[in-house]
Structure 1
Amino acid sequence: MNRRRSTPWIHRWSRILIAAIASVGALTTGYLTVVKLTLSSAACPTNSCDLVLSSPYATVFGLPLALFGFLAYASMAIFALAPLAVNPSQSKDTRTKLENWTWLLLLAGAIAMSVFSGYLMYLLFFKIKSLCLYCLASAIFSTSLLVLTMIGRTWEDIGQIFFTAIVVGMVTLIGTLGVYANVNNPSANTGSNTASLEPTGQPTLGVGWPITTTSGEAEIQLARHLTKIGAKEYIAWWCPHCHEQKQLFGKEAYQEIKHIECDPQGKDARPDLCKAAGIQGFPTWEINGKLYPNVQALEKLAQISGYQGPRNFKNFPGAFK
């Protein structure tokens, strides 16, 4: 009992606190992963969250960056809770070894996540130049995990912390710079079209990003058909997924589309119509009285609208890979 009382409270609760913070981080990054994969808009008090999620920095190896964050946070939670699942009275040696190994894994993981989060903050403020509350929260979570890992136990060899920090930090930083070395470098993507579905740079206030793709005859005919049957597209000028939909049609065809701007700051905005239609995300199509949220492939728009014209669409996601 005396030994337990002399143990600092932070040492007794550090693993629980680490697991709790890591779990919140996993929920946050898991949500962002779903948003990215489903082409939805993030629930965020500012428009910047969607701008950050649509940036080229938000995708790594063809997968959402948030997915890797989710795996990292989930691993930290597992490392923190693993020794607690072992009964010390039945297998004291096993639990001691597991505690030592998991503390090293927690330290290495927290250092790597903090270094990576620091680089993401640099990108956020100096490259993307947008404020994402989820990104800031993740950076705070990573820093908190590092602090709790360092003070959450008695480290017999302080030099071990510095050595691990230097090695893991350098490896993480070099790896991060390597992963993002070719972002926004067109010459690195040999054989790719110069156009891209995803927006680059900052949008023009109230208008959005310029359409950089051109239209084929099939895109133009589909756009005219949609307008003829009274189809409407509800958009927001700052929405990156709305820009992706524009890129699919191309500059010439999209001029034929009847789109309704829902953000009051947008050009020719009609937020009253958006509210009356019950629009909750962008883009959302209204075709024959039914709502179809998210980016729609041109083939699907042709199918649900009863389009009978040519379907040799030149713009589709696979055309830009």
Structure 2
Amino acid sequence: MGRRRKENRGIYRWSRPAIGAIATVGALGTAYLTVIKLMGNSAACPVKGCDQVLTSAYADVFGIPLTLFGCLAYLTMGALSLGPLLINGDGNSKQRQQLEDTTWPLLFIGATGMMVFSGYLMYLLATELKAACLYCIASASFTLLMFILTLVGRQWEDQGALVFRGVIMGMVTLVATIGMYSISINGPSATAAGNTGPAVTNTSGEAEVALAKHLKEVDAKMYGAYWCPHCFDQKQLFGKEAKKYMPYIECADDGADSQTELCRSVPEISGFPTWEVNGQFLAGTQTLSTLAEASGYTGPKNFKN
């Protein structure tokens, strides 16, 4: 028993510095990604999935890079964990202890919220985006480590209250996250007629409009869903002017002008988007040059996007 108490006291001494170190690394990483996002550059990453995830519809919240919110969260955790350590414990031990007692519950609540939010992002990564993003996985690992350290980093007297706080914070975070993404992605475009997804922001050129019209003329089809980030990326390549000419088939049940039954009748559709061009099925987001070649398009090819 004496040995266990001694080990616990050791954890108590280094838990705050460890949380602060993790938060600092996390803040630096998310700050880097935020700058890269705002500059329109690609992040350094050994796998292709990073750019796919960081440019998806889930990477922004109301037009603001998600990484900026992550950076602020990490900075807050860093301040809460390291702030009390800046007070000299020899001459101000009471003040330092009071500050530690105040910040520990805040650290636990913050770590719980970040862990649940990161867990939801991992769910999206596996089910919706289906891509590997090392930055996302690292951030999720950081939040899990901070959560564990807040649990074992001090002696919690009222464990029942701790569990209650954790459950409430987890539920609030999950509901808020789902609601936030629903509003951010669907936004005002969600109408009684059905969801249409986020608004396309890229401007179309003459070539994009001509290609979209040509694809419609040759009876090509793009099977997609309003919530699909890859479908949004495909629409962005065409641009907002050409989007109205795209031969788009909505496959989501709650999407605008849904044609779910038609989508289900096509066995070649295994994911979204799927293009059907001249009897050939092309899975995933396609470059405009690929669609032009597959459809026999001979018009202008100076695509802007």
Per the normalisation by structure 2, the TM-score is 0.64
Q: 1:187 to 1:148 in 2, by over 3 A?
A: same
Q: Does 1:255 align with 2:301?
A: yes
Counterparts of 1:93 and 1:209, CA distance in 2 = 58
Distance between the aligned counterparts of 1:193 and 1:24, measured in 2? 32
Query: Shift of residue 129 of structure 1?
Result: 1.4
How many Å apart are 1:39 and its aligned residue?
Answer: 0.5
1:135-150 paired onto structure 2 within 5 Å: 135-150=136-151
Alpha carbon RMSD of aligned pairs, Å?
3.6
Residue in 1 aligned with 2:230? 202
* Structure 2 Cα separation of the partners of residues 193 and 119 of structure 1: 20
- The residue identity in structure 2 corresponding to 1:168 is M
Aligned to 2:46, what secondary structure does the other structure show? coil
* 8 Å CA contact 1:114, 1:146 repeated in 2: yes
C-alpha change, 1:255 and 1:10, in structure 2 (3 Å) is same
Deviation of 1:252 after TM superposition, in Å, equals 10
Match of 1:181, SS state, is helix
Q: Aligned partners of 1:194 and 1:88: how far apart in 2?
A: 55
Q: What do residues 156-203 of structure 1 show as CA deviations (whole Å, max 9, x unaligned)?
A: 111122011011111111111110113543763679996333996438
Judged with a 3 Å threshold, the aligned counterparts in structure 2 of structure 1 residues 252 and 104 are, in CA distance, closer, same or farther, namely: farther
Give the count of matched residue pairs: 224
Letter of the 2:127 partner, please give it. Answer: F
Distance 1:171 1:194 in 2: 28
Q: Which amino acid aligns with 2:21?
A: A
Asked if structure 2 preserves the Cα contact closer than 8 Å seen for 1:182 and 1:188, the reply is no
Structure 1 residues 5 and 115 mapped into 2: Cα distance closer, same or farther (>3 Å)?
A: closer
Q: Could you tell me which residue of structure 2 aligns to residue 220 of structure 1?
A: none
Distance 1:125 1:92 in 2: 48
Tell me which residue corresponds to 1:155: 156
Task: Return the alpha-carbon distance in structure 2 between the equivalents of residues 143 and 185 of structure 1.
Answer: 30
SS in 2 for 1:44: coil
Change over 3 Å in CA distance of 1:187–1:61 after alignment to 2: closer
Change over 3 Å in CA distance of 1:45–1:239 after alignment to 2 = farther
Identify the match of residue 238 of structure 2 among 207, 211, 218.
Answer: 211
Instruction: Name structure 2 gaps, 5 residues minimum.
Output: 204-225, 243-283, 289-296
Partner of 2:175 in structure 1?
174
Deviation at 1:47, TM superposition (A): 1.7
> Shift of the alpha carbon at 1:72?
0.5
Residues 37-63 of structure 1 show CA distances to partners (whole Å, capped at 9, x for unaligned) of: 110001001121111111111111321
Residues 192/161 of structure 1: CA separation in 2 closer, same or farther (3 Å cut) = closer
* Counterpart position of 1:230: none
8 A Cα contact 1:50 1:239, kept in partner: no
**CA–CA separation in structure 2 for the residues paired with 1:254 and 1:77:** 54
Rounded to whole Å, the distance in 1 between the matches of 2:71 and 2:299 is 39
Compute the displacement of 1:144 (Å): 0.2
Pair 129,173 (structure 1): closer, same or farther in 2 beyond 3 Å: same
Q: Where do residues 24-103 of structure 1 align in structure 2 (5 Å cutoff)?
A: 24-103=25-104
The answer to whether structure 1 residue 117 and structure 2 residue 118 are counterparts is yes
Label 1:119 to 1:254 Cα distance change in 2 as closer, same or farther (>3 A).
Answer: farther
For 2:198 and 2:101, locate their aligned partners in 1 and report how far apart those are by CA, in whole Å.
51
With structure 1 as the length reference, what TM-score do the two structures score? 0.61
The separation in 2 between residues aligned to 1:252 and 1:187, in whole angstroms, is: 37
Question: In structure 2, do the counterparts of structure 1 residues 173 and 44 end up closer, same or farther at CA, with 3 Å as the change threshold?
Answer: same
Which deviations, in whole Å up to 9, do the C-alpha atoms of 1:233-273 show, x marking residues without a partner? xxxxx999x99xxxxxxx9997136x9xxxxxxxxxxxxxx
1:118–1:139 contact (8 Å) kept in structure 2: yes
Per the TM alignment, residue 109 of structure 1 is displaced from its structure 2 partner at its CA by 0.4
Separation in 2 of the partners of 1:193 and 1:65?
16
Name the structure with the higher helix share: 2
Give yes or no for contact 2:84–2:96 (8 Å, CA) kept in 1.
yes
* C-alpha distance in structure 2 between counterparts of 1:35 and 1:57, whole Å: 16
Native 8 Å contact 1:195 1:212 kept in 2: yes
Counterpart contact for 2:24–2:78, Cα < 8 Å: yes
CA contact 2:58–2:229 (8 Å) conserved in 1:
no
- Per mean C-alpha deviation after superposition, the further-off stretch among 135-144 and 163-172 is 163-172
Check conservation: 1:18, 1:80, Cα contact below 8 A: yes
Conserved 8 A contact 1:202-1:209: no
Q: Whose relative contact order is higher, 1 or 2, with alpha carbons under 8 Å and at least 6 apart?
A: 1
- Give the partner amino acid of 1:211: F
Distance 1:7 1:35, change over 3 A: same
